[in-house]
Structure formats: structure tokens, C-alpha cells
Amino acid sequence: MNASVHEGEQAVQRRAGEGREGWGSPMFTADIPPGFAAFMHQQRLVAIAVPDDEGAVWCTVLTGDQGFVDATDDRTIVIHALPPEGDPVRKAFDSRATSRDLGMVVMSPDTSRRVKVNGVARRDRSRLLLRTEQVLGNCPKYLQVRTVTGTGPGHGQTVRTGTELSVEQQRAIALADTFFIGSFSPGHGADANHRGGRPGFVSVTDSRSLAWPDYVGNSFYMTLGNMALNPRCGLAFMDWTTGTTVQLTGTGRIDWSRERAETLPGALRTIEFHIERIVQIDNASPLSWTLHSYSRFSPPVPPKPSGLPEGEP
């Protein structure tokens, strides 16, 4: 994995009219700064993304007590948790592969901070060991403010699979203010990140298709750069009250149409996602979160067309 921007990221930067030669390279480090190590140790939520043996990319959410993400030296992170049974990310680490590219974003919903870590991971009994290749602090844009206000049973899950979204799943996604996205490019590794907006910013086109606006960010285009080289990606939506997760794997496409973007406040372009497989795990996380405020950076969301579920104002 190269610590500098790769050709997919550069291509997206050029198409977007942003960046310059070497843009972003100094922001990455393979080592974990002490401040980042301390930050990660305090957090209770991460999203991780991996490709499976067939090349499908899956993203999942892991939660735990403070300290479940532990930087044991300047290049090693121990994640003292595994996804629940039935989670495709867990299955990926149950395969014969001894190690796997992994992208991770460590979230602090109560302070709107996040740190991204990409590297190579392997399973060690009931934990994951991650060797870091890229470590980056990310901006607070589009992060909603939430705090943990309760715990439930967790891990008493019902797993449901399919290839089309149910009406209930469509409504949950149409009301979501946050999701996580994983991408992967061979030779450049996996990446996980967060997308946020006002409820309704994700459009459910039909039972197998989603779309969302791409807002202004840090111009590194790590997700879109991977997507430019390999369209396979994975999404994870979480019910912040019950801990139920809906994981989607499929393909993403960047729609550069200015006319379409202009219909969505704040959008620079639009991302389309075609669903191939769905995994829903009830009570995947025992944590219950309370929403305190939406990000001040999130643009308003236009009303949904008739017949689609609408988000909150």
C-alpha cells in the first residue's frame, strides 16, 4: 500500500478540478501519533471494511467499552471485538486467508471527531490485529452528535439475508442521517469512512438501488478514488437505538452530471449504488445512542417525491 494518493484518487481530483501533484501525501503516516492512540482508546465505535474471498466489499460496525481499540505500539492496533455470527466481515476472517486488507474509521459521535486507519489485519482468537499502513485524522463535517445512553442484550441476533430491500429497510435507509462505506482497490488496500447528512439525504431509488449527494470534503477522495478503480463497495446502516445493522454489498458509480447535482443542495456530484446482497442483523450492537444535534455542515434535503418515505425536517 502506497502512503501517497493513488491513480484513482488523482483521477477523481482532476475530474473535480481539485488537488495538485503530491496533494495529500504529507497528511498520511504509517505510524500512530500518540494523540491518535489516546483518542482511539477512548472510543466505543468503529466501522471496518474488508473484501471477502469473492472480491465483494463489506462494511460493518463494531462497538465495545472504552479500550476495546488499543494501539499497542506505533504500528499495531488490537481490536478486542469480532463482528457477530452471520456478519460477512466475520466470515471473511474465518476463511483460509491468514490476513486481509482492512479499512477502519474510529468514531467519536459525542465530539464529532474521527480517525481513519488502513492496513492489513488478521484474526487472533476473539480479536483482530491490525498492522497500520495509513493513519489520518479526518474533519468533523457531517458528523451528528450522539452519546451512549443505554445498553441492551446485543449478540442475541436474528440474521436476515436477501437481494432486495424490504419496505421496512427502505424506510430505515430513507430516514438515515448516517451510514458507513467501505471500498477497496487491489494494490492500494481497503478504506472505511462515514457519510452523513440530514435525514432523507440517502434516496432509495428502488429495492436494489440507492443514491446520495457527495458533499464538499477534504478532497483526498479515498472512497471515490477506490471506486474509480474498483466499483465494488459496501455500506452499513445502523439503528442507533436498537443496534440493528443493515449491510449492503454491491457496486458504486460516480454521476458527474452537474444538472443532477444542482437538484440536491450542497451536492458536488451524486453517487449511485446498486445492491447485490443484503445482510440484516438485529441487535448487532448492545449500545443505544441518543441524538443531540445534526451537523451544522449538512445542507437541507429537498422533499421526497410522492410515494417515497420522507425524512424528518
CATH classification at residue 153: 2.30.110.10
Q: What is the pLDDT of residue 116?
A: 96
What's the rounded Cα separation, in Å, for the pair 180 and 197?
12
Spatial contact of 68 and 46, defined as CB atoms under 8 Å apart: no
Q: What is the pLDDT of residue 312?
A: 43
pLDDT along the chain (313 residues), means of 10: 76 84 65 97 98 98 98 98 96 88 98 96 97 92 96 79 98 98 96 97 98 91 96 98 97 97 96 99 96 96 65 42
What is the strand order of the sheet 113-124 is part of? 57-63, 45-51, 100-108, 113-124, 127-138, 76-79, 69-73
Q: Is 306 among the domain residues?
A: no
Range of the domain at 276: 7-288
> Residues, the chain, total?
313
What's the rounded Cα separation, in Å, for the pair 29 and 18?
22
Q: Is 24 among the domain residues?
A: yes
Q: What is the pLDDT of residue 138?
A: 84
The residue to which cell 491468514 is assigned: 98
Q: What is the pLDDT of residue 96?
A: 73
Q: Is 296 among the domain residues?
A: no
What's the rounded Cα separation, in Å, for the pair 151 and 303?
34
The residue to which cell 472510543 is assigned: 43
Dihedral angle sign, alpha carbons of residues 130, 288, 60, 91: positive
What's the rounded Cα separation, in Å, for the pair 242 and 151?
9
Q: Is 246 among the domain residues?
A: yes
Q: Is 227 among the domain residues?
A: yes
Grid cell listed for 238: 445502523
Q: What is the pLDDT of residue 303?
A: 83
Q: Is 179 among the domain residues?
A: yes
What's the rounded Cα separation, in Å, for the pair 73 and 258?
46
DSSP conformation letters of 219-263: S--HHHHHHHH--EEEEEEE-TTT--EEEEEEEEEEE--HHHHTT
Q: Is 16 exposed, middle or buried (0-12, 13-18, 19+ CB in 10 A)?
A: middle
Q: Is 247 among the domain residues?
A: yes
The total of structural domains in the chain comes to 1
Q: Is 231 among the domain residues?
A: yes
Question: Among residues 100, 106, 121, which one has the least CA distance to residue 186?
Answer: 100
